[in-house]
Amino acid sequence: MIEGNNFGEKLLGTIKERHILPKPKWQFLLKDYMIWAIGAVALLIGAIATCLVIYMLDADDLDIYKKIDNGLSEFILLAIPFFWLLIFAVFTGVVYYDFKKTKKGYRFTAPVVLSAVVISSILLGGAGYVFGMGKKIDDILGQKAPFYSQLINPRLNMWQKPEKGRLAGLVVSDPGIDRLIIVDRSGKEWILIISDVRTIKFPIRKGLPLRAMGDKISENEFRAYELFPVGPGNGFYQKLRPGAHGGPRGMMFKIQSRMEEKI
Amino acid sequence: MLNIENTENLSDEELAKLTLENQDYFLYIIERYKVKLFNYIRRISNLGEEDAEDILQEIFFKAYLNLNDFDQDLKFSSWVYSIARNHTISSHRKKKARAEGYSVPLDDRIVESLAIEFDVRNNVDKRLLKEDIQKVLDGLNPKYSEVLELKYLEEKNYQEISDIIKKPLGTVASMINRAKKEFVKQLSSSVENFKP
């Protein structure tokens, strides 16, 4: 029986014989710090995702999307930033799991922990949005991230449909009285006729991305009835250059010359 | 060797701290916990005495190695029970029905307190009651038997149970509640003159 034998003495003897020592405190402290650091990084990523969700939802032009053919279902698919919501969900899970690994994390129930994580992400993400972090991050990703238009901001694809009356691109000429030149995402140059646009609510200048709704007149002419600035995706369009994706080069020079002659 | 009289008045937490300076103090921690943990290991697993003793040895090694990880905000007892629980579970998976003869006999004192807790009438044969209680505990869902054993057999309070099984306090309270209901339900079908 365990009471009668010299269990304790034998055990201590083995410890001394093998020179076993307790693990040093720094190992445990390091582990604790790593857990907290991972949690902090995951929370930060979740907050960034929240910031981008707010940015993309806030930039939604409800009026524009109402005019698009397929109604509510297409609107929802385009308007909701699924990519950032997924990132938010994944990293919320990471923070929760990580928190439960802390020394006293087990004392809190799942609803309490998850609520705290979500609220913290919203507060941090909201603060980031207020300070313009949403636009900055989206611009950088637009310029540098591969698959930006496929994954992060697929709504850009609906603005590459000139035959359906929607076109977006970068203004590459000084705007004339009734027309200007834009380069679309495939690198193709377009003459954008703007004489029929009733109100232009933002200043148009060379180097500005914009979106147009109207009619395609010919292979490289588009008559716009409405113009909008580009919100999310601004950085994506900023990197466009004429002919970059095999579009016709040199049109800009010819058209600009014609415009100067008219003047 | 250390003077045993000096150590009797020391708390577990103080002994743990002293062990880090002089490993001889660890012997007194072993002596305080070896029987309790041995019985606990046997209750939550289906192990015989020899296997349980091996597990117990590994548990004390683990506790010694991780002594610098002991959080002084916790009770030492909860910490070492937590190590015992986790190590026993990972070494040998618990079975729903324990093998015959491997159960740790219930103390009369514990049977008495259970009888009072569950309002079992005084004219019930205590010997039979002991057997019935053991049978019911053995047959319960492990998550229920675990919390009942910690509460009534190991006499841990809710906070200690929370620290041992690493679940929130509220969760522990509802688990014990459900466990008691299940225990009463099963006991009432085994014991004559027991009406919940």
Q: What is the DSSP string of B57-108?
A: HHHHHHHHHTGGG--TTS-HHHHHHHHHHHHHHHHS---SSPPTT-SPPPPH
pLDDT at A263: 44
pLDDT for A23-78, tens place per residue? 999 999 999 999 999 999 999 999 999 999 999 988 766 667 666 666 677 777 77
Query: Which chain B residues are within 8 Å of A13, Cβ to Cβ?
Result: none
pLDDT tier for residue B195 given thresholds of 50, 70 and 90:
low
B99 has pLDDT over 60 = no
Nearest CB partner across the interface for A23, out of B24, B27, B65:
B65
A90 has pLDDT over 90 = yes
3-state secondary structure of A227: strand
Q: Are the beta carbons of A2 and B66 separated by less than 8 Å?
A: no
Contact B30/A at CB under 8 A:
yes
Q: Are the beta carbons of B23 and A109 separated by less than 8 Å?
A: no
Q: Are the beta carbons of B27 and A9 separated by less than 8 Å?
A: yes
Contact B69/A at CB under 8 A:
yes
Nearest CB partner across the interface for B53, out of A2, A24, A106:
A2
Give the chain A residue nearest B165 (alpha carbons). A106
**Predicted-complex ipTM score:** 0.83
Name which of A73-82, A191-200, B22-31 the model is least confident about.
Answer: A73-82
Query: Which chain B residues are within 8 Å of A27, Cβ to Cβ?
Result: 68
Give the chain B residue nearest A24 (alpha carbons). B68
Between residues B185 and B66, the one the model is more confident about: B66
In this prediction the pTM is: 0.82
Token duo for residue A132: 């313009």
Q: Are the beta carbons of A8 and B168 separated by less than 8 Å?
A: no
Between residues B196 and A115, the one the model is more confident about: A115
Between residues A152 and B111, the one the model is more confident about: A152
State the average pLDDT for chain B: 84
As separate numbers, helices (DSSP H) first and strands (DSSP E) second, chain A gives: 9, 6
Burial (Cβ within 10 Å: 0-12, 13-18, ≥19) of residue A7: buried
Residue A135: CB atoms within 10 Å: 17
Give me the mean pLDDT over the B139-157 stretch.
90
Query: Which chain B residues are within 8 Å of A15, Cβ to Cβ?
Result: 23, 26, 61, 64
B165: region left, alpha or beta (phi > 0 left; psi from -120 to 50 alpha): alpha
Q: How far is A26 from chain B (nearest CA, A)?
A: 9
Angle at B38 between CA B93 and CA B62, to 5 degrees: 75
pLDDT at A225: 94
Q: Cα(A219)–Cα(A72) distance, rounded to whole angstroms?
A: 31
pLDDT tier for residue A248 given thresholds of 50, 70 and 90:
very low
Token duo for residue A164: 């359906």
pLDDT at B1: 52
Q: Are the beta carbons of A9 and B31 separated by less than 8 Å?
A: no
pLDDT at A70: 63
Q: Are the beta carbons of A24 and B68 separated by less than 8 Å?
A: yes
Give me the mean pLDDT over the A235-248 stretch.
69
Name which of A227-241, A246-260, B31-45 the model is least confident about.
Answer: A246-260
Give me the mean pLDDT over the A155-162 stretch.
89
Give me the mean pLDDT over the A9-16 stretch.
93
A251 has pLDDT over 50 = no
Written as one string, the DSSP assignment of A173-192 is S---SSEEEEE-TTS-EEEE
pLDDT at B96: 40
Give me the mean pLDDT over the A165-178 stretch.
90
Contact B168/A at CB under 8 A:
yes
Nearest CB partner across the interface for B23, out of A16, A23, A27:
A16
pLDDT at B40: 92
